[in-house]
C-alpha cells in the first residue's frame, strides 16, 4: 500500500505537467476510439449481412436493371427458399444533403426475407394495403421527425417527378448492428407509374434477393442463377449479401485506410509526449533514485516506481477517455444523420483503447527506466535535475 501511495505521489508531484499529459492522453484515446468507430460503422453493413441471402444484379453494373420475369426462373433453382426484389430509387428529400437509402421493394415478400427489420403487425398491414405506403427506420424517423401518417415527398432522379409517400410503419432493428436508416415503399407503385410515363422501364428491377435453404448452398446457387441467364440480354452476377456490401465499401477503401493511419498517428504522437514527460520526470529525480540505490533499493524497485508512475498517468487518461468516448460518439452519430447505417462503440474498440494506453505507458517508461537502472550512484548524486 505504501509503495502504491509513493507512486501516486510521484505522479502528482508536478500537477500541471501531469494534468496536461493526462489531458493529451484523453484527447488521443477519444480520437482513436471515435476513428475506430467510424471504420466499424463503414463496415457495419457487410458485417451484419446474412450468410443465407444472395444478391443478384446485372452483370454489367448495378445501374442496369433486369426483367421481372427472372423471379420465376430463380424460384425454380434447387436450394432457393424464397425470392424478392427491389430497386434503388435515389430520390431527394427537400435538399440533396438529406441523403438516405430509398428502396422500392416487393412488399408481400421483401420483409419476410429480412427478419432483422421488426415492424409491428398492424403497421405492416397498413403498409401492404396502401399503394403509396412507406416504412422507415427508427433512426431515419428520429432524424427527420417522420411520424405515422406523415406524407413525405421525394424528388425523383432515377425516376423523374415528385413522388408522395405516406408513412405507414417505423421499423426497429432486431440487433444493434441492424441498419435502421432506410426508407422502403412499394415497387408496384413505381411500376404502375412507369407503365404510364415510361413503358420501357416497367417490369424491371434493380436486384433480386434470394433466401437459401442453407448457407452452405450459396456457391452452388450463385453459379446456377448466373448460368441460367448466361447469354441473355441481361446477364447476372450473383454473390453473397456480404460480398455485395463489401463491393460498396471497396469504392472508398482509400478513405478507410487514411482514417486508420490517422488513428495510429495520434497514438504515436501522444506516446512521444508521454515519453518526454517521463524523461523530464526522471531527469529531475536522478539524485533521488541514486539515493535509493545507495540505500540498497534494487533495480526492480526503481523500475516499479517509474513504470508505476507511467501507468497511473496513462491509466487516468485512458479511463477518462473511454468514459468520454460514448457520449461523444453518440453526439457524433446524431450529427452525421443517416450517413452511417449504425454508429455504436464496440467492445473491441474499448479493448484497443486499453491496449493503446498500456503501450503508451510501457514505451514512455522504457528509456527513463533503463537510464536509472544503469546510472552510477555517484553520477546520480551529482545530478541537479
Residue 343: per-residue pLDDT: 83
Residues 171 and 224 in one domain: yes
State which residues form the domain around 339.
2-45+252-382
Q: Is residue 21 part of a domain?
A: yes
Residues 279 and 369 in one domain: yes
Whether 180 and 173 have beta carbons less than 8 Å apart is answered as yes
| 8-state DSSP, 109 | H
Is pLDDT of 83 > 90?
Answer: yes
Q: Identify the domain boundary among 202, 234, 266.
A: 234
Percent of the chain at pLDDT exceeding 90: 51
Residues 211 and 358 in one domain: no
Residues 41 and 134 in one domain: no
Q: Which of residues 102 and 343 earns the better pLDDT score?
A: 102
Whether 22 and 342 have beta carbons less than 8 Å apart is answered as no
Return d(Cα 46, Cα 95) in angstroms, integer: 28
Residues 335 and 267 in one domain: yes
| 8-state DSSP, 92 | B
Q: Is residue 335 part of a domain?
A: yes
Q: Is residue 13 part of a domain?
A: yes
How many Cα atoms sit within 13 Å of 253 on the Cβ side?
Answer: 6
Under the banding of pLDDT at 50, 70 and 90, the label for residue 236 is very high
Return d(Cα 63, Cα 278) in angstroms, integer: 58
299-335 vs 2-11: helix axis angle to the nearest 10?
A: 60
Residue with cell string 444533403? 97
β-strands 133-137, 161-173: how paired?
Answer: parallel
Under the banding of pLDDT at 50, 70 and 90, the label for residue 50 is confident
Residues 152 and 23 in one domain: no
Across the strands, what pairs with 205? 66
Q: Is residue 53 part of a domain?
A: no
Q: Identify the domain boundary among 172, 205, 234.
A: 234
Q: Is residue 6 part of a domain?
A: yes
For the chain, report the end-to-end CA distance as a whole number of angstroms: 28
Residues 137 and 263 in one domain: no
Residues 94 and 229 in one domain: yes
Across the strands, what pairs with 166? 133, 151
Residues 87 and 226 in one domain: yes
Question: What's the full length of the chain, in residues?
Answer: 385
Residue 243: per-residue pLDDT: 83
Percent of the chain at pLDDT exceeding 70: 95
Is pLDDT of 8 > 80?
Answer: no
Q: Is 179 exposed, middle or buried, given 0-12, 13-18 or 19+ CB atoms closer than 10 A?
A: buried
Residues 81 and 203 in one domain: yes
Q: Which of residues 135 and 294 earns the better pLDDT score?
A: 135
Q: Identify the domain boundary among 234, 267, 284.
A: 234
Under the banding of pLDDT at 50, 70 and 90, the label for residue 15 is confident
Which residues fall within 8 angstroms of residue 3, CB to CB, at 6 or more apart? 304, 308
Whether 82 and 72 have beta carbons less than 8 Å apart is answered as no
Contacts within 8 Å (CB) and 24+ apart, 189-194? 189/104, 189/131, 189/132, 190/87, 190/89, 190/104, 190/159, 192/131, 193/159, 193/161, 193/163, 194/159
Sequential DSSP letters for 157-202: TTTTEEEEEEEEEEEEESSTTS----EEEEHHHHHHHHHHH-GGGT
- 188: alpha, beta or left, given left = phi > 0 and alpha = psi -120 to 50? alpha
Is pLDDT of 14 > 60?
Answer: yes
Q: Is residue 135 part of a domain?
A: yes
Q: Which of residues 9 and 81 earns the better pLDDT score?
A: 81
What is the tens place of the pLDDT at every residue in 254-294?
777 888 888 888 888 888 888 888 888 877 777 777 777 77
Residues 94 and 210 in one domain: yes
Query: Per the structure, how many domains does the chain have?
Result: 2
What is the tens place of the pLDDT at every residue in 34-43?
998 888 887 7
Q: Is residue 54 part of a domain?
A: no
Residues 195 and 262 in one domain: no
Return d(Cα 217, Cα 199) in angstroms, integer: 37
Is pLDDT of 183 > 80?
Answer: yes
Q: Which of residues 136 and 340 earns the better pLDDT score?
A: 136
Across the strands, what pairs with 238? 56
Q: Is residue 243 part of a domain?
A: no
Whether 56 and 210 have beta carbons less than 8 Å apart is answered as yes
Amino acid at each position: 500500500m505504501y509503495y502504491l501511495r509513493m507512486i501516486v505521489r510521484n505522479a502528482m508531484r508536478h500537477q500541471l505537467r501531469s494534468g496536461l499529459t493526462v489531458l493529451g492522453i484523453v484527447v488521443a484515446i477519444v480520437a482513436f476510439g471515435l476513428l475506430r468507430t467510424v471504420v466499424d460503422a463503414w463496415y457495419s453493413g457487410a458485417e451484419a449481412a446474412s450468410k443465407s441471402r444472395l444478391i443478384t444484379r446485372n452483370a454489367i453494373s448495378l445501374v442496369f436493371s433486369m426483367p421481372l420475369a427472372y423471379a420465376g426462373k430463380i424460384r425454380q433453382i434447387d436450394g432457393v427458399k424464397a425470392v424478392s426484389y427491389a430497386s434503388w430509387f435515389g430520390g431527394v428529400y427537400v435538399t440533396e444533403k438529406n441523403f438516405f437509402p430509398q428502396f422500392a421493394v416487393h412488399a408481400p415478400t421483401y420483409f419476410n426475407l429480412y427478419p432483422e427489420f421488426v415492424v409491428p403487425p398492424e403497421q405492416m398491414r397498413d403498409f401492404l394495403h396502401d399503394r403509396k405506403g412507406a416504412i422507415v427506420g427508427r433512426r431515419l424517423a428520429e432524424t427527420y421527425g417522420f411520424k405515422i401518417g406523415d406524407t413525405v415527398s421525394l424528388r425523383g432522379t432515377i425516376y423523374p417527378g415528385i413522388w408522395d409517400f405516406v408513412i405507414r410503419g417505423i421499423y426497429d432493428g432486431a440487433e444493434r448492428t441492424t441498419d435502421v436508416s432506410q426508407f422502403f415503399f412499394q415497387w408496384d407503385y413505381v411500376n404502375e407509374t412507369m407503365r404510364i410515363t415510361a413503358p420501357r422501364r416497367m417490369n424491371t428491377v434493380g436486384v433480386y434477393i434470394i433466401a437459401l435453404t442453407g448457407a452452405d448452398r450459396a456457391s452452388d446457387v450463385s453459379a446456377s442463377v448466373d448460368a441460367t441467364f448466361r447469354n441473355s440480354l441481361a446477364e447476372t452476377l450473383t454473390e453473397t449479401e456480404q460480398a455485395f456490401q463489401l463491393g460498396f465499401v471497396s469504392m472508398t477503401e482509400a478513405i478507410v485506410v487514411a482514417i486508420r493511419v490517422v488513428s495510429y498517428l495520434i497514438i504515436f504522437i501522444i506516446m512521444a509526449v508521454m515519453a518526454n514527460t517521463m524523461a523530464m520526470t526522471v531527469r529531475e529525480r536522478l539524485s533521488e533514485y541514486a539515493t535509493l540505490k545507495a540505500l540498497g533499493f534494487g533495480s526492480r524497485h526503481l523500475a516499479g516506481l517509474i513504470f508505476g508512475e507511467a501507468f497511473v498517468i496513462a491509466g487516468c487518461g485512458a479511463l477518462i477517455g473511454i468514459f468520454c468516448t460514448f457520449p461523444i460518439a453518440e453526439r457524433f452519430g446524431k450529427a452525421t444523420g443517416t450517413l452511417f447505417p449504425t454508429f455504436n462503440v464496440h467492445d473491441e474498440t474499448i479493448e484497443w483503447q486499453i491496449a493503446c494506453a498500456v503501450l503508451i505507458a510501457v514505451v514512455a517508461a522504457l528509456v527513463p527506466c533503463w537510464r536509472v537502472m544503469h546510472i552510477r550512484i555517484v553520477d546520480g548524486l551529482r545530478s541537479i535535475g
